[in-house]
Amino acid sequence: MIWDHDDDKPREECGIVGVFNHPEASLLVALGLHALQHRGQEACGITTYDGEKFHNERHMGLVGENFGGDLTSRLPGSAAIGHNRYSTAGKPAMRNIQPIFADLANTGFALAHNGNLTNAVALRKELISKGAIFQSTMDTEVVLQLVARSNRRLMRERFMEALQAVEGGYAFVGLTNKKLIGARDPVGLRPLVLGKIGQGWVLASETCALDMIGAEFIREIENGEIVIISEEGVESFRAFPERPESPCLFEYVYFARPDSIVQGRSVYQVRRRMGHQLARENPADVDVIVPVPDSGVPAALGFSEQSGIPFQLGIIRSHYVGRTFIEPTQHGRQKSISKKHSPNKSVLEGKRVLLVDDSIVRGNTSKKIVQMVRDAGAKEVHLRSASPPIVNPDFYGIDMPTKGELLASNNSLEQMRNFLNVETLGFLSVDGLYASIGIKRDMTMPQFSDHCFTGCYPTRLVDQMQEEGGKDRQLSLLD
């Protein structure tokens, strides 16, 4: 995985969409993926079934670049699934674009996945030792292999058996010749929602995808739930013992689109409240509040509302610059950061400026933006993060640096302040983040997965333990 040192954000996970019983299924999936483009910009794919055979298209690049024109002629059928990719397991390559597909006994099976399996490496090694042949480096293919080797009679039983062998954070959409399948991991780390459009059904990572295609939101798929959608309707099954839901906090902090609804909460309003709480916890004596665009905007608005300090667009972000990780040289990447962000000198010059961002990961981009604001004539530059310090990496589908590369993991607040070259630096507390969501943090009961801030991981990290030489070595993960 190529980590972009100059576009210093946690990498989006992936976006998934499924549609069943609609004559324009592929078109609806494409529109849904377009709404979820923020979750993955590397590649995209759609698989459909037309009653007789499966059709598949996979491309590098954005949805709008690849899925225009008369899509229902190219990808016919009333059932379809699609995927936006930003690779967290498996390097960028055509063979790693989803949905993945295999011919199984009695049906074809297409599968798309948002998340990351924490025992995929161990399972892959064991499957290969038993004769499995892999066509990709994705952890998603592990699930496909497990389904293929299952001796269970019903497809839902085979899929359920496969999920019982894997660990980690995931949401799946799968497609057979008769059914659309959705599944969510036992603690609900990765999101999945159910919608309805006419007589058809929709599964998607976020409600904004339902809004895009005009579907009615029905409910969230519950943690540990498998839904089977067929001509008979929607059936629900449980693959695991019931556990408390513990979704990832980063959906609120960064990943979900602001107009999405997560657990009945407006993401936009939560982020505004994060700004309110940040202003209460870390006030600043400044002249102007400036968001780091675009993800820092709601929190900066909230900070301004709580503090009474004016909100101004002091940094203008271009949306027409390619992602900096594709630049072939360090010089090219450094040029790209200046192309992406431009200072609004009329707002910044001679002012004491408070920058508000959603999070700070490595700190490289923050440092460059601070210097850019200083060069534009700011008298002082202060910085606030609307999330707690990120001190631990994620292993559930968020691509971010190792623990050793995380700024907050290796430096005191004063060391970070000096590195970023700001007058003051402040972070939202973990308790403050919970309060912004509207609940009081309970240390005895998992309410959210906050492992990036606390180090409390909700599952075993089998592959990580084995990589680090830990004791969590199993002779067999399949038997």
Q: How far apart are CA 216 and CA 221, in angstroms?
A: 14
Q: Is 357 within any annotated ligand binding site?
A: yes
Q: Residue 425 in 3-state DSSP?
A: strand
Give every CB contact of residue 425 below 8 A, 6+ residues apart in sequence.
382, 383, 384, 413, 416, 417
On whether the CB atoms of residues 404 and 410 are closer than 8 A, the answer is yes
On whether the CB atoms of residues 384 and 318 are closer than 8 A, the answer is no
Q: Can the peptide bond before residue 294 be classed as cis, meaning omega within 30 degrees of 0?
A: yes
Q: How far apart are CA 358 and CA 256, in angstroms?
A: 12
DSSP H helices in 150-245: 155-165, 207-213
Per annotation, catalytic residue among 14, 44, 248, 452: 14
Q: Is 230 within any annotated ligand binding site?
A: no
**Selection from 334, 383, 333 nearest residue 360 by Cα:** 383
Q: How far apart are CA 408 and CA 7, in angstroms?
A: 17
In degrees and rounded to multiples of 5, residue 103 shows phi and psi of: -85, 115
In degrees and rounded to multiples of 5, residue 225 shows phi and psi of: -95, 145
Q: How far apart are CA 194 and CA 209, in angstroms?
A: 11
Q: Which residues pair with 168 in a beta bridge?
A: 117
Strands, sheet with 352-357, edge to edge from the N-terminal-most edge strand = 288-291, 352-357, 380-385, 425-427
**Residue 127, both tokens:** 């499957």
Q: Residue 115 in 3-state DSSP?
A: strand
Cα three-residue angle 456-273-340, rounded to 5 degrees: 85
Our answer to whether residue 208 is catalytic in this structure is: no
**Residue 375, both tokens:** 């060069």
Residues annotated in a binding site for Mg(2+):
295, 357-358
Residues annotated in a binding site:
295, 357-358
Catalytic residues: 14
